[in-house]
């Protein structure tokens, strides 16, 4: 997949800057690996909210994501409760169509 991503180009032909992220240690629910991914982060006004799982890789992932988004505050958000529901940080912020609430 890394080679495929490296081959992608922007609309004006430039390569994308890739930032490899670490993996959190596996978090299991009755043998099923939960989706503890640092790629499930959220960009907001002036900040980047980064999932944290109580893992030694949390700080490194936050540092890398901060490098990819200079000028924004990086805020780690504890997300273990969210992955038990099969999602993470970005998932809980998804928009609802008008009239749904």
Q: Which residues are tagged catalytic?
A: 91
Beta strand pairing call for 32-33 and 42-44:
unpaired
d(CA 85, CA 18): 29
DSSP state for residue 42 in the 8-state scheme = E
Q: For residue 27, with 0-12 CB atoms within 10 Å meaning exposed, 13-18 middle and 19 or more buried, which class applies?
A: middle
d(CA 2, CA 77): 27
């Amino acid at each position: 997949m890394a080679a495929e991503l490296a081959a992608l180009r922007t609309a004006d032909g430039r390569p994308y800057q890739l930032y490899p992220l670490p993996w959190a240690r596996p978090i299991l629910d009755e043998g099923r690996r939960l989706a503890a991914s640092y790629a499930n982060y959220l960009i907001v006004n002036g900040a980047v909210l980064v999932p944290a799982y109580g893992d030694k890789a949390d700080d490194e992932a936050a540092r890398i994501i901060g490098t990819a988004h200079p000028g924004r505050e990086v805020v780690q958000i504890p997300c273990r409760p969210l992955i038990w529901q099969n999602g993470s940080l970005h998932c809980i912020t998804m928009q609802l169509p008008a009239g749904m609430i």
